[in-house]
Amino acid sequence: MTTNPISPTIALDQDGKHHGFLKLPYSRDDSAWGAIMMPITVIQNGEGPTALLTGGNHGDEYEGPVALQDLALTLEPAQVSGRIIILPALNYPAFRAGTRTSPIDKGNMNRSFPGRPGGTATQKIADYVQQCLLPLAEFVLDFHSGGKTLDFVPFAAAHIQDDKRNENACFEAMKAFNAPFSVQLLEIDNVGMYDTAAEEMGKVFVSTELGGGGSSSARSNAIAKKGARNFLIHAGIIKGEMEVAATVNLDMPDGDCFTFCDRDGMHEPMVDMGQRVKKGDVVARVWPLDRTGVAPTEYHANRSGLLISRHFPGLIQSGDCIAVVAVEVD
């Protein structure tokens, strides 16, 4: 059996605050005996549960890395009962390149689980998380945003699961995160997701979509920082009062939530995010790139609800997700 080549440069089970790296040997043209050095912080104090906090699962999403850098720097062991494992940039090569997927192997971390110890760099990282980090944790928080090609209203999300006890625990943790929106999320493509791996192990798992466009904002970063702190209070790992504001509860019941583009062109959003739409409303138009005098193609909402996500760049391709509509529930 192949063993995973990643080794931590710090102990993962010692009291105190330790900053180090997960070291993945990676021999290449510019470093014959080189390694990928993925930053990791472990903050531990005595008995208690473990939380695994990850950002940069996709390398062009920044609220998670910002909030987790801040947490790793400012949280002290005396404030902790248990352990917090912090990985601000899970797909570290992608994070360094500012791209969704890894520049080394084009690996999409969130389609690479459970990973392979003898596979590509992305598969090795996924395997290490699956075999070595997830088993240590009871609570798992994975930050996402839209990256360069999507934008989202800021939400925390949990999934419908077969295990209703764990499903309920995940929804409670999502509520504790207390983003402005809380979504019962339907995945269009859940095979290989970190989410699925964590849920199948019975972990209390929350993910987010906090913004997008390949950057972050003061508001979205504040939501990420507050959410991480609330999540850790909910887990019983840090003490304090949760900061709670109103949240809009949303459901994504089926594939009618998504509208996809079927031509290349220039994207004209017709509805801004957070606005209500009715089934059949035009959510976006796509103009030809190469001529004038031709009407744009209209794209419609397939159901009534709130626009929670849209294609971000000014240009769009056939096959791109152009808009996402979710349904308000209480």
The residues binding Zn ion (CB under 5 A) are 58, 61, 144
Q: At its nearest, how many Å lie between Zn ion and the CB of residue 55?
A: 10
Q: Which is nearer to Zn ion, 58 or 225 (CB)?
A: 58
d(CA 94, CA 111): 14
In the complex with Zn ion, which residue's Cβ is closer, 45 or 112? 112
Helix or strand (DSSP H, E) at 172? helix 164-177
Is omega for the bond preceding 114 within 30 degrees of 0, making it cis? yes
Q: Which is nearer to Zn ion, 92 or 286 (CB)?
A: 92
Nearer to Zn ion, 144 or 159 (CB): 144
Strands (E), 160-232: 181-185, 204-209
How many helices (H) and strands (E) in the chain?
6, 19
Q: Which is nearer to Zn ion, 58 or 175 (CB)?
A: 58
Tokens of 226: 């507050």
Least Å distance between CB 57 and Zn ion?
6
Q: How far is CA 329 from CA 57, 180, 181, 283, 284, in A?
A: 29, 14, 11, 21, 25
Phi, psi of 67 (to 5 degrees): -65, -35
How many angstroms separate the most distant Cα atoms in the chain? 70
Query: Which residue matches tokens 């004209």?
Result: 268
CB of 184 to Zn ion, least distance (A): 18
Give the position of tokens 């760099």: 121
The least CB distance from residue 101 to Zn ion, in Å, is: 10
- Give the pairing of strands 50-54 and 82-87: parallel
Spatial distance between the Cα atoms of 65 and 63, rounded to a whole number of angstroms: 6
CB of 39 to Zn ion, least distance (A): 19
**Could you say which DSSP state residue 109 is in?**
G
Minimum distance, C-beta of residue 145 to Zn ion, in the bound complex (Å): 7
Please say which residue, 61 or 199, places its beta carbon nearer to Zn ion. 61
Q: Measured in Å, how far apart are the chain's first and last C-alpha atoms?
A: 49
Name the minimum Å distance from CB 90 to Zn ion: 10
Name which of 61 and 63 has its Cβ closer to Zn ion: 61
